[in-house]
């Protein structure tokens, strides 16, 4: 590292321009604070550059390809089509162009708000002072009254399946492929592995999963994951549960099955998707005298660390490692720094899996509510009984909406759904919990016909014992 050429002082220094850091910078600047944002990996962070957005673009393209291929094989709805051809390089270029537009948009928003953005790598000397190595090689020192750490997370690498081997890819590598592999082994059947594995299966890759646990998507109960399991089975996707990946072989991946026997999967590429870990190395965290909570930075309900004037947000502070959690924390910290009274206390943080079909979870499942000492009632409404779902060919996948409520006062404790396009219901679900809705509030709200949202109202009616469109 070269000698610092100048020292700059600022009210707020934010490290990391991902979905936690850049909204924090925008809001702080809007509120009149002097803000410097230092980012090296590209504005928008993992979510925009290598995660949420590019993966959803590839998932969308894969679904479009599968749909056209289905019409080519068996005409439906009066629509027939020629067999589609996939240009993986062009698909990746389309995805990259989308990402470039969005990252440029983030830069424009930061500039419009008045935040100063530095393209560089920060390394802290102490809790309030860091040296920044800029993209052009120059260095500068920044002294800040307040520091917000938003360094994000990276994929977990398995020591026996290193990412520097060209046949082994992370989720980032999977989204950058310019040639479609004929075969792929996916290590890990959590939401990242399943989302990408299903997308590649739709594009025509023979996909096999190896999962150490005895179920896919362990955060959801079996009723929720059953439609996904059914899709995997009907689309010839192999899922090896209670199995452990062992090593890369000449033709693929070796693993130990549930009976302790060694087996092998043919795979041109091995996608390792076993989780993510916070970025805590390389930027001087050890010089800041900040308390940790396991691998994460320890924070209170205002995202304040143990060092006065230093905050941490997003993936760096723990689960759930979701972009929208980081954004909410970033906005909150900016407002706290501007003198507002805020704390991070959401009733629930919604989670979505963009699998086939999609899954939404907000709040407690029935089993979780019972474990917490609640006596509950539930209502479930199948999309097979919903006109809009059937009109979109989404009613035959086993999907449903399920609401869980306290028996005594009908307070809604959790809402879960699985089915085509249910991700778009997540906002209504979260709002219901955040505002303390009762079953009667949901059932008494007029929902537009025909929409998927009707299924939510019907699930509340079912919990009340008064369903309209299913027999009970």
Q: Which two tokens stand for residue 441?
A: 């509030």
For 268-318, the DSSP string reads: SEEEE-S-EEE--SSS-GGGS---EETTEE---TT-B-SSTTEEE-GGGG-
* Residues ≥6 apart with Cβ < 8 Å to 347: 363, 433, 434, 436
* Residues ≥6 apart with Cβ < 8 Å to 185: 207, 208, 209, 210, 245, 252, 253, 265, 267, 269, 270, 271
Which residue's structure tokens are 């899954």? 359
DSSP state of 200: H
Catalytic residue among 340, 416, 449, 469, which?
Answer: 449
The values of phi and psi at residue 168, to 5°, are -105, 130
Q: Is 235 a catalytic residue?
A: no
The values of phi and psi at residue 224, to 5°, are -75, -40
Instruction: Say whether 346 sits in a helix, a strand or coil.
Output: coil
Beta strands in 61-103 (DSSP E): none
Instruction: Say whether 83 sits in a helix, a strand or coil.
Output: coil
Answer whether 43's CB lies under 8 Å from 107's CB: yes
Query: At CA 411, angle to CA 343 and CA 443, rounded to 5?
Result: 120
Which residues are known catalytic residues? 449
């Amino acid at each position: 590292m070269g000698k610092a050429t100048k020292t700059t002082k600022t009210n707020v220094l934010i490290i990391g321009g991902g979905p936690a850091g850049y909204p924090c910078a925008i809001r702080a600047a809007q509120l009149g604070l002097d803000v410097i944002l230092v980012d090296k990996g590209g504005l928008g962070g993992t979510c925009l550059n290598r995660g949420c957005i590019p993966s959803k673009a590839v998932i969308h393209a894969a679904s479009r390809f599968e749909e056209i291929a289905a019409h080519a094989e068996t005409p439906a709805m009066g629509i027939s089509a020629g067999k589609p051809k996939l240009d993986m390089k062009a698909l990746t270029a389309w995805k990259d162009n989308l990402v470039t537009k969005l990252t440029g948009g983030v830069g424009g928003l930061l500039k419009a708000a008045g935040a100063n953005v530095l393209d560089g790598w920060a390394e802290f000397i102490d809790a309030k002072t860091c040296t920044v190595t800029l993209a052009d090689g120059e260095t500068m020192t920044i002294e800040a009254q307040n520091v917000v750490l938003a360094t994000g997370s990276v994929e977990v690498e398995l020591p026996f399946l290193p990412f520097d081997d060209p046949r082994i890819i992370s989720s980032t590598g999977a989204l950058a492929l310019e040639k479609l592999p004929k075969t792929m082994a996916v290590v890990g059947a959590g939401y990242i592995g399943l989302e990408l594995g299903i997308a590649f299966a739709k594009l025509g890759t023979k996909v096999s999963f190896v999962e150490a646990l005895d179920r896919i998507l362990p955060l959801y109960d079996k009723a929720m994951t059953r439609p996904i399991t059914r899709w995997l089975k009907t689309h010839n996707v192999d899922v090896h549960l209670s199995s452990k990946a062992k090593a890369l072989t000449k033709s693929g991946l070796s693993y130990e099955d549930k009976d302790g026997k060694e087996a092998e999967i043919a795979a041109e590429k091995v996608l390792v998707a076993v989780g993510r870990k916070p970025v805590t190395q390389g930027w001087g965290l050890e010089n800041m005298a900040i308390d940790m909570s396991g691998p994460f930075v320890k924070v209170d309900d205002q995202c304040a660390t143990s060092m006065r004037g230093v905050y941490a947000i997003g993936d760096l502070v723990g689960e759930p490692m979701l972009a929208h959690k980081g954004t909410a924390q970033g906005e909150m910290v900016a407002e706290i720094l501007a003198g507002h009274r805020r704390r991070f206390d959401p009733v629930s943080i919604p989670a979505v899996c963009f699998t086939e079909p999609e899954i939404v979870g907000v709040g407690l499942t029935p089993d979780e509510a019972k474990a917490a000492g609640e006596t509950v009632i539930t209502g479930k409404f199948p999309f097979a009984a919903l006109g809009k779902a059937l009109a979109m060919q989404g009613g035959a996948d086993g999907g449903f909406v399920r609401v869980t409520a306290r028996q005594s006062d009908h307070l809604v404790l959790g809402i879960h759904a699985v089915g085509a396009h249910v991700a778009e219901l997540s906002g209504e679900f979260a709002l219901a919990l955040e505002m303390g809705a009762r079953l009667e509030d949901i059932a008494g709200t007029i929902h537009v016909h025909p929409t998927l949202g009707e299924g939510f109202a019907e699930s509340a009616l079912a919990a009340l014992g008064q369903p309209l469109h299913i027999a009970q």
